[in-house]
Amino acid sequence: MLFNSRQGNVVYLQETVDDSVVANSLIVYHCKSDTESLHDGSDVVLSATCFLDKPLTLAVMYGCTDNTIQEITWELKRCAKSAFNLLMLPLMFAHIERSRFLKAIDNKATELGGRILELERRVMKETTQDSAQEKNETEGGKTMTERDCNAIHMCSSMTSLKNGLVSFVTELQSMRDHLQALQVSKIVRRQEGDTASGQKQVQDDEMHIDSKLYAMIAELQSKIRTCEGHLGAMTMATQMEWNYYTRRDAQVNYSIATAARMDGSQMKQISRLGMIFLPGTFLATFFSMTFFSWLPQDSSQVASPWLALYFGATALVTIVTVVWLERRSSKEMKTAKAQLQQELDKDTDSTLFSRLTFSRSSSMKATSRDVESQGSRTAS
């Protein structure tokens, strides 16, 4: 039998070898740590050859640290006779790999949890000068882009760990399937299966290994759900932050538009004031020209008799100018609204508020009139 996974993840290989020359049957196990999801430099490689005709196991493990050597030595001493079980060394390797994954997940979960709390505090904190200064001090003066890059890196690392856990659980399930196959085929060492006590010891060891593998699979599946929860929370926190900044930018744009509208109204008042005084200025200049002699040279009158004509003509010209400009502006506004309405009617998926204002105002008025008329008929 052969169990394998993609390169870089946890690998568990098992094969049965029958050598007709030396008349020995043996099982070879190859286990390799995950080097794609974990980069802590503590990966190990195990190769174990278990002879079935005698209690002999030849194994080598590469990449062991001092702590790993002490842990394996202590486990072998504690297991005593169970140390010669076929899957005992692969089980120890699985324990080492489990410890590596749990340590890495706890570290990444702490970092992601801190990042999520940081996003929540930043959004909920009042944007005062003191709080902004305090935030810059706590964040080390990092820009928003740098913080986003760190968040992306943490999410990528957590996703890689989750994928590594999924592959590891698959390999542990393969070990359980292989253990069940050994139980069905009753493959044991000859010296162990010769006596009843030996068979009882083998059954106890197999039950112990199966329970350990089942417990590890359940624990790792729980860690997978934890990773998914942290990734989902990080996604929601990042989306919340971006929504907050989007709303804040929208408020700034609304403030700018309001200020521009106020400036436009002020300019409109100034232009209207110019329209009022411009005809009077024009007529005053016209009456002050020397082309016409409004008063005789030998006359003693101080005020010209044409003064009333000046005021009347000024008022008339001013009124005509203002009315003409107002009608022209109103006509241009109606034309612009009609053109905008035509463009909105062409786009059926448009969600602009102007469409509701232009299209439904008349229909709403008509509907209200119908309701009022129907109510009056019912009352009568």
What single string gives the DSSP state of each residue in 277-317? HHHHHHHHHHHT-TTS--S-TT---SS-TTHHHHHHHHHHH
User: Would the pLDDT of 36 be above 70?
Assistant: yes
> Which has more pLDDT, 151 or 226?
226
CA distance 314 to 310: 6
Q: Alpha carbon of 252 to those of 145, 156, 246, 249, 257: distances in Å?
A: 21, 34, 10, 5, 9
CA distance 54 to 296: 146
Give 61-92 pLDDT, tens digit per residue: 888 888 888 888 888 888 777 777 888 889 99
Give 274-328 pLDDT, tens digit per residue: 777 777 777 777 767 655 555 556 655 555 666 677 778 888 888 887 788 778 7
Give residue 325's pLDDT: 76
- pLDDT tier, 219 (very low <50, low <70, confident <90, very high otherwise): very high
> Is 351 strand, coil or helix?
coil
Structure tokens at 21: 């020359």
What does pLDDT average to over the chain? Answer: 73
Give residue 191's pLDDT: 53
Give residue 273's pLDDT: 72
CA distance 352 to 348: 11
Give residue 221's pLDDT: 92
- pLDDT tier, 204 (very low <50, low <70, confident <90, very high otherwise): confident
Q: Alpha carbon of 350 to those of 337, 340, 361: distances in Å?
A: 16, 12, 17
User: Would the pLDDT of 133 be above 80?
Assistant: no
Highest mean pLDDT among 97-101, 267-271, 278-282, 339-343: 97-101
Give 42-60 pLDDT, tens digit per residue: 788 888 888 887 778 888 8
Give residue 239's pLDDT: 82
User: Would the pLDDT of 352 be above 90?
Assistant: no
Give residue 358's pLDDT: 42
Give 170-197 pLDDT, tens digit per residue: 999 988 888 888 877 766 665 555 567 7
- pLDDT tier, 343 (very low <50, low <70, confident <90, very high otherwise): low
Give residue 215's pLDDT: 92
Give 228-243 pLDDT, tens digit per residue: 888 888 888 878 878 8
**For residue 97, which amino acid is it?**
E
Kindly write down the DSSP assignment for every residue of 205-255, as one continuous string: HHHHHHHHHHHHHHHHHHHHHHHHHHHHHHHHHHHHHHHHHHHHHHHHHHH
Percent residues over pLDDT 70 in the chain: 66
Give residue 214's pLDDT: 92
Mean pLDDT along residues 344-365: 46
Kindly write down the DSSP assignment for every residue of 50-111, as one continuous string: EETTTTEEEEEEES--HHHHHHHHHHHHHHGGGGGSTTHHHHHHHHHHHHHHHHHHHHHHHH
Give residue 218's pLDDT: 93
User: Would the pLDDT of 259 be above 90?
Assistant: no
Structure tokens at 218: 């359940």
Task: Evaluate whether 230 touches 109 at the Cβ level (below 8 Å).
Answer: yes
Task: Evaluate whether 27 touches 37 at the Cβ level (below 8 Å).
Answer: no
CA distance 134 to 140: 10
- pLDDT tier, 220 (very low <50, low <70, confident <90, very high otherwise): very high
Give residue 357's pLDDT: 44
> Which has more pLDDT, 347 or 298?
298
pTM recorded for the entire structure: 0.59
